[in-house]
Amino acid sequence: MAAPGTLQRGDQVPHFEVRTLQGDVFSYEAIWQRKNLVLVTLPAAGRDDAYASELAARLGDFEAREGTCVITRDPVAGVEPRTAIVADRWGEIVHVARASPVEALPTASELLEWLEYIEQRCPECEGEAK
Residue-wise pLDDT for 11-55, tens only, equals 999 999 999 998 999 999 999 999 999 999 999 887 778 899 999
> In this structure, are residues 98 and 106 in contact, taking their beta carbons and an 8 Å threshold?
no
10 part of a folded domain:
no
115 part of a folded domain:
yes
8 part of a folded domain:
no
| Per-residue pLDDT at 45 | 81
The bridge status of strand 25-27 relative to strand 17-19 is antiparallel
CA distances (Å), origin 103, targets 1, 84, 92, 99: 18, 11, 25, 8
CA distances (Å), origin 86, targets 10, 49, 69, 116, 120: 11, 21, 9, 11, 14
The model's pTM = 0.89
106 part of a folded domain:
yes
1 part of a folded domain:
no
> In this structure, are residues 95 and 10 in contact, taking their beta carbons and an 8 Å threshold?
no
Query: Residue 33 CB: number of other CB atoms within 10 A?
Result: 9
**Of residues 55, 36, 39, the one with CA closest to residue 103:** 55
What residues make up the domain containing 97? 17-129
Give tens-digit pLDDT for 50-104: 899 999 999 999 999 999 999 999 999 999 999 999 999 999 999 999 998 899 9
5 part of a folded domain:
no
Query: Residue 40 maps to which CATH number?
Result: 3.40.30.10
- Report the number of distinct structural domains present in the chain: 1
72 part of a folded domain:
yes
User: What's 15's DSSP letter?
Assistant: P
